[in-house]
Amino acid sequence: MWACASTKGWIIGKPLPTNAPLPTDTPLPTDTPLPTDTPIPLESPTATNPPEPAWQLEYTDDFTSARSWSEDRGERFRLDFASSGYRITNDVVGDIIYSTRPGTYGPVRVETNARWLSGPLDSYFGVICHFTNGGNYYMFAAGADGWYGILKKQMSQIIVLKEVMDTTGTLQVGQNGMTIRGDCYSGQLVLWVNGVQMLSVRDATFTGGSVGLAVGARKTGGA
């Protein structure tokens, strides 16, 4: 802002008044700094996993006799004791053949040593938890081609909750087979293969049920 003033006049016998100094400009107030923006988190913090139960051994089986596993066969499946273990044969393309044992469990850990004997490499095998019936359960699976995943069968539809192709060599299919473990507790599902945690996912659709073993066939039967 600029200000300008002038005065002209004569008064006899009196000195001219001195010009009154112009008032100095009142400094403008400095700008009040804007408040800094509070950063907004892009993602909510990762939810912590529920604590693991204190596991206690409930049941073990060496599969040398039909104590708790049924033997049955049909045109497209077979459940029997053979090859020094319990054998499941699946000739149903795009579906799972399973065998469960008596008992109902809430939080549960299921583990078995499984070996691929024959059939298509894209078949898969593993363990089951929270089994309600043939159309509702979880499966922890691995395949001879290096595939592994956590599946949910709900209303008879197979839903892949998580899957990966192994590039680390953890999934070794040989004479000793693979140890497959599934942990089911508080909506937490964890797949282990040969003692290594491979996958973890949250799903609380089923909270309890039976346990079992299963073999899945993708495009070709005969696993």
DSSP-derived 3-state class of residue 143: strand
The separation between CA 115 and the C-alpha centre of its own chain, rounded to angstroms, equals: 26
Residue 97 tokens, joined: 């053949």
Q: What are phi and psi of 155, to 5 degrees?
A: 50, 40
Contact 190, 199 (CB under 8 A): yes
What is the predicted pLDDT for the residue at 68?
76
pLDDT score, position 8: 32
**DSSP secondary-structure letter at 162?**
E
Q: What is the radius of gyration, based on Cα positions, of the chain?
A: 37
Q: What is the pLDDT along the chain (223 residues), one digit of tens a residue?
A: 333 333 333 322 334 344 444 445 545 455 545 444 545 444 444 557 889 889 999 999 988 876 678 899 999 999 999 878 999 999 999 999 999 998 999 999 999 999 888 888 889 999 999 999 999 999 999 988 889 999 999 999 999 999 999 887 777 666 678 899 999 999 999 999 989 999 999 999 999 999 999 999 998 999 9
pLDDT at 175: 62
Cβ contact 111:127 at 8 Å: yes
